[in-house]
């Protein structure tokens, strides 16, 4: 099988490869996220952000991006973004808010 181990959504295992692509604030965030388990809310928020900026939901196994792999795609995407560290952190915090909102909605639904 040609794609025996191909991720379609940005995997937590690729976070560390993004560290040196931007400034100190970005590096600190990436280091923090890489040290967390993939199920931690902050890791989920970071993955959510990367899925959005990399457009993972429109990736398919036959695409050029998929052939590159998630590591190369995510690095190219972050390098291509003209966002400052502060703008990237704002994207991350927006994803954190989205994750918390979702988890609160799911939690509220379970309690009813």
**Number of domains the chain contains:** 1
User: Is the CB of residue 59 less than 8 Å from the CB of residue 8?
Assistant: yes
Model pLDDT for residues 27-75, shown as the tens digit of each residue: 999 999 999 999 999 999 999 999 999 998 888 878 888 888 889 999 9
Look at residue 2 in the predicted model and tell me its pLDDT. Answer: 46
Q: CA 49 from chain center: how many Å?
A: 5
Pure H helices in 55-84: 64-68, 70-80
The answer to the question of residue 101 being in a domain is yes
What is the pLDDT at residue 1?
Answer: 36
Query: Is 33 inside any structural domain?
Result: no
Q: Has residue 96 been placed in a domain?
A: yes
* 44-62: b (≥16 Cβ within 10 Å) or e: bbbbbbbbebbebeebeee
Question: 91-106: per-residue pLDDT in tens?
Answer: 999 999 999 999 898 8
């Amino acid at each position: 099988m040609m794609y025996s181990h191909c991720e379609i959504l940005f995997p937590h295992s690729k976070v560390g490869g993004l560290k040196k692509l931007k400034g100190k604030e970005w590096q600190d965030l990436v280091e923090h996220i890489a040290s967390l388990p993939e199920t931690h809310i902050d890791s989920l928020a970071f993955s959510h952000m990367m899925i959005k900026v990399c457009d993972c939901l429109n990736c398919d196994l036959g695409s050029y991006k998929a052939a590159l792999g998630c590591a190369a795609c995510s690095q190219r995407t972050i390098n291509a973004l003209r966002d400052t560290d502060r703008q990237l952190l704002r994207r991350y915090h927006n994803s954190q808010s989205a994750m918390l909102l979702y988890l609160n909605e799911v939690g509220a639904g379970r309690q009813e």
